[in-house]
Amino acid sequence: MIKENPRYFFQYAKRYLRTREQIGPLLTEEGIQKEPQQICEALSAQYQKVFNSPDKRKMVINPQAFFQEIPEHDEPMDITVTVEDITKALKELRVNSALGPDGVPAVLLKTALKPLQHP
């Protein structure tokens, strides 16, 4: 059937693949809620309970000043990176992390920890 008419097969499969899931019944403090209106109210109450308003202390008041470009430093910065710093950073890296701008996968960095410890 698939070889003869694959389009028909996939249309048939797609039609029966879609299932409608019901929400509920839900267990609330008042007991088991089965009616759609009660379920809506219970879900709304839960949403309102966990919804957070933005923290006013962390809001950006002046976006132009906040997002302005920082001028480049002409002077070299005196930073010392130790072998321990590199080891700690690589150990904290998650294996399934996304690629960085250099395109090197995290799993490679973690696997090559010993050779990469020394500059």
Instruction: List pLDDT tens digits, range 86-109.
Output: 889 888 888 888 888 888 898 888
Q: Average pLDDT of 19-32?
A: 84
76 prior amide bond cis, ω within 30 = no
Q: What is the pLDDT of residue 1?
A: 60
| Distance linking the first and last C-alpha atoms of the chain | 62
pTM score, whole prediction? 0.35
Long-range CB contacts (within 8 A, 24+) of 21-24: none
